[in-house]
Structure 1
Amino acid sequence: MSKIIFITGASRGFGKLWAKALLERGDKVAVTARNLQDLDDLVAEFGIAVLPVKLNVDDREACLVAVQQAKDHFGRIDVLVNNAGFGLFGPIEETTEAQARAQMETNFFGLLWLTQAIVPVMREQKGGHIIQVSSFLGLITNPALGLYNASKHAVNGLSETLAAEVESFGIKVSLIEPNGYSTDWASASAVQTIPSEVYDSLRTAVANALTPDSWGEPEKTVSAFLELIDSKNPPLHFLMGKNAYPAIKEVYSNRLSEFEQWKEVSIAAHG
């Protein structure tokens, strides 16, 4: 049976790639973008199976309207893929207030508004699947990506809580947590802080740590994404890419070791 999927940020990158894969196998997809012209190719190829929706996810009211538009058009929404977002690159000290607020508005609040819009729809249907596109940097951190790290940690905390709150309604929640991929996330879609020379050595170290193997191939994510969509028991956390697991395992092992080292002091602080 075909599914009805709502995907934000479908103008490029993962959003467009996954939307096309779903359409090719016969699903119906509502796709959003700030500029509808970015969706013309999908409409031209797949016709009425596509519902293009103009949406800036920063606008809460627009998110509510967009979800209702998709429900009215298709009759239901089986899966929400909260994919819209961007990367803010630069040390925390360099980040302006406007940059920090814009990062959280899109990556966190935009995702929250769509989530709030979709839950009543799925609750009425007695089921659905909310997929939040987070990052492995929602579980660990990298320097010079402080606000991006913070936005994805917020997404993870929100979504873990959401999963417990909506389970009784038959709604499942999954976090896709990719490592780096060669989309335009780190290039055309990225926002950069104004560099200060005091962080030149940090920037150099971060750049030198990257290799061609740091970046996954976006096209290789399609089969894994479809398997997640079709799973009857999807995971809450779904790592994507070969670099995510070892990086997270190292950080979490070190964290547990530190907790153990300070365990007695921590217990004594209870009273």
Structure 2
Amino acid sequence: MTLSENGAGRVWFITGASRGLGRAFAEAALEAGDRVVAAARDTAALDRLAARYEGRVLARTLDVTDRSAVFAVVEAAVERFGRLDIVVNNAGTLSMGMVEEFSEAEARHQMEANFFGALWVSQAAVRQLRTQGSGHIVQVSSIGAVAGYTSSGMYSASKFALEGMSEALAMEAAPFGVRVTVLQPGGYWTELYTRMRTAEPLEAYAPLRAELERQWSQAESEPVDSEPRLAAEALLTLVDSDAPPLRLLLGGMVYDLAFDVSRQRMDTWARWEEVSRAAEHPVPEPSA
């Protein structure tokens, strides 16, 4: 059993805890002897979990895009268990489509769920964590933040924004004893794709879309995703570490991709080094 400073199991706050990775994270924490505040839009799926671990699960209905509701639920969690130790920003959605195809409402919906929701939880949580002088915020990002891809531009945008915010948060929270880690998972068998939204297609992109469908159909001929349990095991290893990283890749595929993308970027930067350096030459501040 893992213990918090008061001798009881650590207290987790997990969003999107009713299914997928969030559910796997909650189950792993409970099996480790910890306590879990499980937040989700629909908590009915958490009833059996709460019954199995009586007294160690606090299920709360929460729409993370509602900032005031987020702060209220975090306060209720602290009131119930006295503290927070690990906060996992897992709630999110997937919207697919070419960048041009997204309406304003669709683009904003993607950002509200994946970026602003995580921002509100981070703000509410860090207030408590810095006050108590300890804690760990884990932001669930995506392979989509390693690089942008055709038809996942809005999703990648939301995850890139999440990672930029989290890098700054990590620096700001560190003096208070609070750690921040960004998880970058590859593919897992969750309901992300079955629940995704799709922008209204434009005919101009029909050939490109047909090529994507051909590639996806080839990929579907053999299993490519993993069990969420494996991600949960990695998360437990992460939060048990005395020196957790700012970023953690989850899966061999995303690991290889991250290195490939990084090498390509470094090669491009090197080829254009002369132009890059010529674009900057410090001079005294011009007079008014």
* TM-score, normalisation: structure 1: 0.96
1:53-89 per-residue CA deviation (whole Å, 9 max, x = no partner) reads 1110000000110110000000000010000001101
Distance 2:134 2:256 in 1: 34
Establish whether residue 174 from structure 1 lines up as the match of residue 184 from structure 2. no
Establish whether residue 199 from structure 1 lines up as the match of residue 205 from structure 2. yes
Q: Which amino acid aligns with 2:205?
A: Y
Runs of 4+ in 1 over 3 A off after TM superposition: 207-210
Partner SS for 1:6: strand
Query: Residue in 1 aligned with 2:245?
Result: 235
Distance 2:152 2:248 in 1: 21
1:89 to 93, 96, 99: 96
1:156 to 156, 160, 163: 163
Distance 1:180 1:249 in 2: 17
1:154-193 per-residue CA deviation (whole Å, 9 max, x = no partner) reads 0110011111111111000001100122211111x21111
Could you tell me how far 1:220 is from its partner in structure 2?
2.1
Per residue, is there more helix in 1 or in 2?
A: 1
Distance 1:259 1:222 in 2: 36
Establish whether residue 248 from structure 1 lines up as the match of residue 258 from structure 2. yes
Q: Which amino acid aligns with 1:227?
A: T
Contact kept? 1:4, 1:79, Cα under 8 Å: yes
Query: Residue in 2 aligned with 1:123?
Result: 130
Matches within 5 A, 1:43-122: 43-122=50-129
Q: Which amino acid aligns with 2:186?
A: N
Could you tell me how far 1:35 is from its partner in structure 2?
1.7
Matches within 5 A, 1:184-195: 184-187=191-194, 189-195=195-201
Q: Which structure has the larger Rg?
A: 2
1:81-108 per-residue CA deviation (whole Å, 9 max, x = no partner) reads 0000011011111111111101100100
Could you tell me how far 1:213 is from its partner in structure 2?
4.4
1:109-128 per-residue CA deviation (whole Å, 9 max, x = no partner) reads 00000000011111111110
Distance 2:253 2:104 in 1: 32
Distance 2:143 2:25 in 1: 19
Distance 1:114 1:132 in 2: 10
Query: Residue in 1 aligned with 2:284?
Result: none
2:275 to 260, 265, 268: 265
Q: Quick one: structure 1 residues 216 and 197, their matched pair in 2 at CA, closer, same or farther if it must change by over 3 Å?
A: farther
Consecutive unaligned residues in structure 1, runs of 5 or more: none
Establish whether residue 220 from structure 1 lines up as the match of residue 230 from structure 2. yes
Contact kept? 1:80, 1:130, Cα under 8 Å: yes
Q: Which amino acid aligns with 1:245?
A: Y
Query: Residue in 1 aligned with 2:6?
Result: none
Consecutive unaligned residues in structure 2, runs of 5 or more: 4-8, 282-288
Partner SS for 1:47: coil
Contact kept? 1:214, 1:243, Cα under 8 Å: no
Distance 1:219 1:204 in 2: 34
1:108-150 per-residue CA deviation (whole Å, 9 max, x = no partner) reads 0000000000111111111100000001211212210110000
Partner SS for 1:184: coil
Distance 1:65 1:234 in 2: 29
Q: Which amino acid aligns with 1:46?
A: Y
Q: Quick one: structure 1 residues 52 and 138, their matched pair in 2 at CA, closer, same or farther if it must change by over 3 Å?
A: same
1:34 to 18, 37, 41: 41
Contact kept? 2:25, 2:235, Cα under 8 Å: yes
Contact kept? 2:87, 2:138, Cα under 8 Å: yes
Partner SS for 2:53: helix
Query: Residue in 1 aligned with 2:285?
Result: none
Distance 1:155 1:190 in 2: 19
Q: How many residues align?
A: 270
Establish whether residue 209 from structure 1 lines up as the match of residue 225 from structure 2. no
Could you tell me how far 1:207 is from its partner in structure 2?
3.2
Q: Which amino acid aligns with 1:9?
A: G
